[in-house]
Amino acid sequence: MEINAQQIAQIKQLVLETGEFIRREAAGFSPEKVERKGANDLVSYVDKNAEKQLTEGCLTILPGSGFIREEGGELKGTNPFRWIIDPLDGTTNFVHGVPQYSISLALQYEEETILGIVYDVARDELFMAQKGKGAFLNGSPIHVSDCPNLGSALMATGFPYNKSDRNTVLLAVLYDILQQVQAIRRFGSAALDMAWVACGRFDGYYETTLNPWDIAAGILLVEEAGGRVTDFSGGSNTLFGRQIAACNPRMHPDLLGVIQAHFS
Ligand code: IPD
Ligand code: CA
Ligand code: CA
């Protein structure tokens, strides 16, 4: 099932307008406006209003579609379309004034992701992929890197906000990867980490404890840019499996090898 060019243009416009709202609010944002969902899990009216704007816009473009959203939860649809939305990925960065956050929006048809958009609000970079049609950054085609091995790789990762999920296994994996790669980054927006693998800025990325809204768009971006995305067993349970290893295909076996030494 495909959506038409006019609908794609409307979706892009919706994301850009929501990004404009986030950019405006970032300018005068004060940390008192933050609420806590958990000890380190932050949310603000910006996340909530952005999600409302996206939800209303998506329903105008595809009436009756369903949703999986970070803030508002699930909404059952009356047709096979479903949106998976993180209105502000990188909230901790946002509230600290660190300009590394994004909107992540994916569209599924019968549970297959057919469109993924990650919008880097501060840099005005729009990453978009359509199933079978490639991946693009501001309209230009993008591709994963061809970095041949971990030794030359710039890797990205992230750590759970929930302290009880920060276990010694994760630190052991981090240690082993750090010993092998050129360098490693933790930038704080999983959606952008994936988009940056798709365009070759990062050679690979892995993380645990993620939710579908963090990565739904990013998975399609990396795959359409020629990369491989798996769970830590090398399988395809990526969207709901809470484990992601995303990489160029040359390096993917090596990355999995290091991870699997600890996650078996
Ligand atoms: C978070 C970011 C971060 C990742 C966390 C996510 P949020 O999303 O993607 O990079 O490490 O696991 O929860 O809370 O900023 O939308
Ligand atoms: Ca997120
Ligand atoms: Ca979020």
pLDDT in tens, 1-11: 679 999 999 99
Q: Which CATH architecture has domain 150-260?
A: 3-Layer(aba) Sandwich (3.40)
Q: Which fold has domain 5-141?
A: Fructose-1,6-Bisphosphatase; Chain A, domain 1 (3.30.540)
Question: Quick one: which atom of ligand 1 is closest to the CA of 89?
Answer: 16
Which of 161, 174, 207 has the most ligand 1 atoms within 8 A of CB, as the residue to mutate?
Answer: 161
Please give the helix or strand (H or E) that residue 85 lies within, else none: strand 81-89
**Residue spans per domain, the chain:** 5-141, 150-260
Q: What are the average pLDDT values for consecutive 10-residue runs of the chain, which has 264 residues?
A: 92 98 91 79 89 98 98 96 98 95 98 98 98 98 97 96 81 96 98 98 97 98 98 97 96 96 86
The whole-number pLDDT of residue 1 equals 65
pTM: 0.96
| Site residues for ligand 1, CB cut-off 6 Å | 86, 89-92, 158, 160-161, 188-190, 207, 209-210, 214
Give the pLDDT confidence score for residue 42 in this predicted structure.
74
- Residue 216 in tokens: 């739904």
Q: Residues 210-262: pLDDT tens digits?
A: 999 999 999 999 999 999 999 999 999 999 999 999 999 999 999 999 999 99
229 within 8 A of 245, measured Cβ to Cβ: yes
Residue 95 Cα to ligand 3 midpoint, Å, equals: 12
Q: Report how far apart, in Å, the C-alpha atoms of 29 and of each of 51, 111, 121, 204, 254 are.
A: 17, 36, 15, 33, 42
Do 88 and 94 contact (CB within 8 A), yes or no?
A: yes
Each as own residue / partner, the long-range contacts of residues 52-56 (CB below 8 Å, 24 or more positions apart, any chain) are 53/14, 53/17, 53/18, 53/21, 53/87, 54/14, 54/15, 54/18, 54/83, 54/85, 54/87, 54/103, 54/105, 55/83, 55/85
